[in-house]
Amino acid sequence: MMNLLIEPSSTLTESLTQTLITVSPQEAYAGIILLAIASDHYLANYLAEEELEAIDRYLRPMHLFQHFQAETMRRMCQKLFIILHRDGEDILLASARETLPPELREAAFASASDLIFANGIISRVQSSFLTHLSQALEIPTAIGAQILSIAHLKYSYNNPVSNA
């Protein structure tokens, strides 16, 4: 089993300013997916092979990622994971928002919602994340509600809402 380890924080340059990180549109979309996975705050200091494979399986069928080789996907995920740990969720989300084309924002929100609902119990933290994400991506309220409703219906047979 291969893990992509994050360097100890002492070896990473500390981000002292709230500057945005330059990411490609693909990295922006994948960054939102990574944020959704991390929204339950159970992400370790590395991406496990299973997590990398899940991200790869989820993204690869999309037109945006069809030309990506497995190693390219791994490097991109590692870069985004380092940004997440070094600079935090807000910087990764703001950076992704700046780069993500407006026509992909609803799709990214739908993908994040789908992953969170498919993951099992929806915690209050994850629910708050989805609210914050929809606002950050400027998803119209009615569209966001439809997306969440569809994700809920899709997984409602085994997906109670948690009070955690």
- State the CB neighbour count (10 A cutoff) for residue 74: 19
- Those residues with Cβ within 8 angstroms of residue 158's Cβ, 6 or more apart along the chain or in another chain: 120
Residue 19: its pLDDT value, please? 76
The residue among 40 and 4 whose pLDDT is bigger is 40
Which CATH number does the domain 22-158 belong to among 2.60.120, 1.10.8, 1.10.3680, 1.10.10?
1.10.3680
- To the nearest 5 percent, what fractions of the chain are helix, strand and coil? 65, 5, 30
pLDDT of 95 > 80? The answer is yes
User: Rounded to whole angstroms, what are the CA distances from 48 to 19, 24, 45, 135?
Assistant: 28, 23, 9, 30
The reply to whether the predicted model has a pTM over 0.85 is: no
Comparing CA positions, the residue from 101, 3, 104, 122 lying closest to residue 51 is 3
Residues 25-76 pLDDT 10s: 999 999 999 999 888 776 666 667 777 788 888 899 999 999 999 899 989 9
